């Protein structure tokens, strides 16, 4: 394969890097590796490359791009101990459909390289339930994950170490194994996990020319030396057959897994005098099996556990009559009763009976394996929801985000789902955001310009512009993972009643942290909202009609407007949670809310107050007694009030311009206040030592300078500052500060005496 590597550091402009990558592809390169891309530059490069038909298939240690049609998928396959034998027919079917299938070896595979693969594929297939599915399921989830369990894994403890919450679908080969899987997981069985029963695909075909003359005394046994295969049972069977006719001989093909079992088997063969009647042929390659079967008449299976018995059916396709001891695990679901026996006598009777022609068993084996039907069923495990053409609207409100908005929009436009639009609503930006967006050429993108108001009003405009059945929110400083919409479409196909899907988040940048990595099925969750906001707004998927039912965002809530909306929506909506990490969430000084950042929590207090007015205590706290509800609401109100930090209040007096008597009257007014829990700050253009009060020297009232002064005085605390004005006050003047604090909680209007300066 022709590979070309380009160092991103050599290209100051990402467009030049993309142009060079396209030239390399046009020149015959099958793979172009872009080395040194950070998250933002990756998305800026991935969008135009995707438009040209190229996709990233691995992100570690560098981003590897290959040609892949828009309607085809990248499927990653892993297998325990790299045993891809049973998976080969499945991968062949995937490739026949035009998908790119990458076989990933488990040798030297670590968490970082595994994430690099999983983050850039559509589907991850884990063959066997005790291999890479265990560590992969404990990593952040980025793609659809399917695990096929064959049976033996369910009798070992290792598979229980997997986080089955992160697996979308488990495939087992029998109803018996499905029942065991469910029983073993017990109350830890994820409610959202799909469990599907599908037989194995096989490359074996009925022989075009079946050897008509078989040695009726030659028996085949295809089994490895391991306890479940129960090969010691062959010995009494052969003793009974040899008593009938000394020409009976069994040929065993299979590897030795248990040396002690093989040793004891060989010793007993000698003890029973069966050396001429039991022949071990060792491990045979698959392409030699047809020839090996040619002179044999029956296939004997003595296993005590078989889920499907593929070895039995492969022998049938070669024209052999099956004689199988009844086994747990699901064999009875596939093999008809006439070919199953319960004891030595029944086995002897079946083997010594007249056999049908080899062609009969070959045709019957083909019917029983149902390969044509399975080939039509397997693709559902990896194909998109092709019959679902519902439109998603990715909504991106933005204001002065020229540094981040292009990567955000590019990440939205590289979604692997075919049915979506991207709507950017600009809230009157004064930087270069709009000019940068003009450089993105895609018919799915609409940019709406409006006069500057605030964030909730801009979100409402985005909803009004949306055409989709569902909206997906993306902040203009965040990034949307390429599988987000496809993941939501799959969930909506499974849970049609859902109104809101909340997803997992990862912190943007090299220092990864993860949030909200939980899975919960759709439910009414009103009882959770009184404890705080539990729905992540970034990346959330919302049924658009929900806004018509409960109203949009409240423009008065300059902060926590998402929580305020959820507090109304949860009374109507079915809400579910997905651990899929759909959003890379950027933390910076411009966030309205950020981890570790002091914010105005009075908005949460207002939401709580509205909650207890809107809903009954029983609806909010259904599991509590009436007395416990009353106590909880009182304690929660007190807790939220204390978090509002209303006493971190600075009353600012302007002593720069007004005459001295104004200063005296203002100080006298504050001295009469019944609520004295506040800080006084006098701003003057010269020292005022006679006052004995803090004075900030400045030539004008500057909110930024006041905020800096307050941050120095009360570091790490959320504070508010108000300018005391010379205005008339109606009412009890001694209650002015108390009324001001009530206004901070939305319980009163701001008194005319005060003008807000900061926070």
Residue 590: predicted pLDDT: 63
**Collapsed DSSP state (helix, strand, coil) of residue 676:** coil
Please give the Cα distance from 551 to 545 (Å, whole number): 10
Compute mean pLDDT per 10 residues along the chain, 759 residues long, and list them.
Answer: 92 96 96 96 98 96 96 96 93 97 92 93 96 95 96 92 96 97 96 95 76 87 96 98 97 97 97 97 91 95 95 94 97 97 97 92 94 95 85 98 97 96 98 95 97 97 98 97 96 95 91 86 95 95 98 95 97 96 85 64 96 96 96 96 95 86 88 95 88 88 94 92 85 93 94 90
Looking up tokens 């889920």, which residue turns up?
Answer: 307
Residue 661: predicted pLDDT: 78
Residue 290: predicted pLDDT: 87
Q: Cis bond leading into 61, ω under 30°? A: yes
CB within 8 Å of 677: residues ≥ 6 apart: 647, 649
Please give the Cα distance from 96 to 310 (Å, whole number): 23
644-679: burial string, b at 16+ Cβ within 10 Å, e else = bbbebbbbbbbbeeeeeeebeebbebbeebebeebb
Instruction: Give Dmax (Cα) for the chain.
Output: 127
Q: Could you give the residue ranges of the DSSP H alpha helices within 119-224?
A: 133-137, 175-185
Token pair for residue 338?
Answer: 């006439």
Please give the Cα distance from 173 to 309 (Å, whole number): 10
Domain borders along the chain are: 3-67, 74-197, 215-369, 392-599, 613-644, 649-758
Note if the pTM is more than 0.85. yes
- The side-by-side arrangement of strands in the sheet containing 169-172 is 100-103, 74-79, 123-127, 144-149, 169-172, 194-197
CB within 8 Å of 37: residues ≥ 6 apart: 8, 45, 62, 63
Token pair for residue 346?
Answer: 């029944």
Whole-number Cα distances in Å, 164 to 125, 158, 197: 14, 13, 17
The CATH classification number of 392-599 equals 3.90.550.10
Which candidate, 31, 38, 43, 28, places its Cα nearest to that of 6?
31
What does 339-391 look like in DSSP terms, one character per residue? GEESSHHHHHHHHHSPPPPHHHHHHHHHHHHTHHHHHHHGGGGTS--TT--PP
**Collapsed DSSP state (helix, strand, coil) of residue 550:** helix
Give yes or no for a contact between 214 and 295, defined as CB atoms under 8 angstroms apart: yes
Superfamily of domain 215-369: Glycogen Phosphorylase B; (3.40.50.2000)
Residue 1: predicted pLDDT: 58
CB within 8 Å of 410: residues ≥ 6 apart: 43, 44, 46, 47, 440
Which candidate, 607, 598, 624, places its Cα nearest to that of 717?
598
CATH architecture of 74-197: 3-Layer(aba) Sandwich (3.40)
CATH topology match: 215-369 vs 392-599: no
Please give the Cα distance from 392 to 383 (Å, whole number): 19
Give yes or no for a contact between 112 and 118, defined as CB atoms under 8 angstroms apart: no
């Amino acid at each position: 394969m022709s590979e070309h590597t380009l160092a991103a550091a050599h290209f100051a402009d990402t467009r030049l890097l993309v142009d060079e990558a396209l030239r390399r592809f046009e020149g015959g390169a099958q793979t172009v590796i872009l080395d040194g891309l950070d998250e933002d530059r990756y998305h800026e490069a991935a969008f135009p490359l995707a438009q040209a038909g190229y996709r990233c298939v691995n992100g570690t240690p560098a981003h590897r791009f290959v040609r892949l049609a828009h309607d085809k998928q990248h499927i990653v396959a892993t297998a325990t101990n790299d045993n891809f034998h049973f998976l080969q027919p499945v991968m062949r079917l995937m490739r026949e459909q035009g998908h790119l299938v990458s076989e990933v070896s488990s040798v030297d595979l670590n968490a970082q390289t595994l994430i690099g693969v999983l983050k850039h594929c559509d589907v991850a297939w884990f063959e066997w339930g005790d291999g890479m599915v265990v560590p992969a399921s404990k990593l952040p989830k980025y793609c659809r994950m399917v695990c096929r369990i064959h049976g033996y894994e369910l009798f070992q403890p290792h598979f229980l170490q997997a986080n089955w919450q992160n697996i979308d679908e488990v495939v087992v080969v029998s109803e018996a194994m499905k029942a065991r899987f469910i029983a073993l997981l017990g109350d830890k069985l994820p409610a959202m996990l799909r469990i599907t029963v599908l037989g194995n695909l096989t490359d074996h075909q009925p022989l075009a020319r079946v050897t008509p003359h078989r040695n009726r005394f030659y028996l085949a046994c295809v089994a490895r030396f391991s306890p479940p295969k129960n090969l010691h049972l062959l010995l009494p069977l052969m003793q009974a057959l040899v008593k009938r006719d000394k020409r009976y001989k069994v040929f065993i093909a299979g590897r030795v897994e248990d040396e002690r079992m093989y040793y004891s088997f060989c010793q007993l063969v000698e003890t029973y005098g069966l050396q001429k009647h039991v022949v071990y042929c060792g491990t045979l390659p698959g392409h030699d099996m047809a020839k090996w079967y040619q002179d044999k008449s029956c296939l004997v299976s003595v296993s005590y556990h078989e889920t499907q018995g593929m070895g039995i059916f492969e022998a049938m396709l070669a024209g052999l009559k099956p004689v199988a001891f009844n086994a747990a695990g699901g064999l009875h679901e596939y093999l008809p009763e006439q070919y199953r026996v319960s004891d030595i006598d029944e086995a002897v009777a079946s083997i010594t009976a007249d056999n049908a022609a080899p062609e009969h068993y070959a045709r019957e084996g083909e019917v029983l394996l149902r390969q044509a039907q399975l080939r039509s069923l397997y693709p559902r495990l990896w194909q998109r929801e092709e019959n679902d053409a519902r439109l998603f609207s990715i909504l991106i409100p933005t204001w002065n985000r020229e540094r981040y908005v292009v990567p955000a929009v590019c990440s939205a436009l590289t979604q692997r789902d075919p049915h979506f639009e991207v709507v950017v609503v600009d809230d009157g930006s004064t930087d270069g955001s709009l000019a940068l967006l003009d450089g993105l050429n895609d018919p799915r993108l609409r940019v709406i310009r409006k006069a500057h108001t605030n964030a909730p009003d801009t979100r409402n405009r985005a909803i009004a512009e949306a055409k989709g059945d569902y909206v997906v929110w993306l902040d203009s400083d965040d990034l949307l993972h390429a599988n987000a919409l496809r993941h939501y479409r799959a969930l909506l196909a499974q849970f049609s009643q859902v109104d809101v899907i909340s997803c997992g988040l990862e912190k943007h940048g090299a220092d990864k942290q993860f949030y909200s990595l939980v899975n919960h099925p759709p439910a009414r969750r009103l009882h959770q909202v009184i404890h705080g906001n539990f729905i992540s707004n970034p990346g959330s998927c919302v049924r658009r009609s929900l806004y018509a039912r409960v109203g949009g965002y409240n423009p008065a809530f300059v902060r926590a407007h998402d929580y305020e909306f959820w507090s109304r929506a949860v009374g109507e909506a079915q809400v579910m949670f997905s651990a899929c990490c759909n959003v890379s969430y950027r933390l910076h000084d411009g966030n309205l809310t950020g981890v570790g950042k002091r914010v105005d929590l009075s908005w949460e207090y207002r939401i709580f107050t509205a909650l207890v007015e809107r809903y009954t205590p029983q609806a909010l706290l259904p599991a509590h007694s009436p007395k416990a509800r009353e106590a909880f609401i009182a304690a929660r109100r007190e807790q939220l009030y204390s978090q509002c930090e209303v006493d971190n209040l600075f009353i600012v007096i302007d002593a720069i311009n007004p005459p001295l008597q104004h200063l005296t009257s203002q100080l006298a007014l504050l001295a009469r206040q019944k609520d004295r829990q506040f800080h006084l700050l006098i701003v003057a253009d010269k020292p005022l030592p006679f006052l004995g009060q803090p004075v900030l020297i400045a030539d004008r009232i500057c909110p930024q300078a006041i905020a800096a002064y307050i941050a120095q005085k009360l570091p790490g605390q959320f504070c508010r500052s108000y300018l005391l004005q010379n205005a008339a006050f109606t009412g009890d003047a001694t209650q002015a500060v108390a009324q001001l604090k009530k206004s901070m909680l939305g319980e009163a209007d701001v008194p005319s005496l005060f003008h807000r300066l900061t926070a």
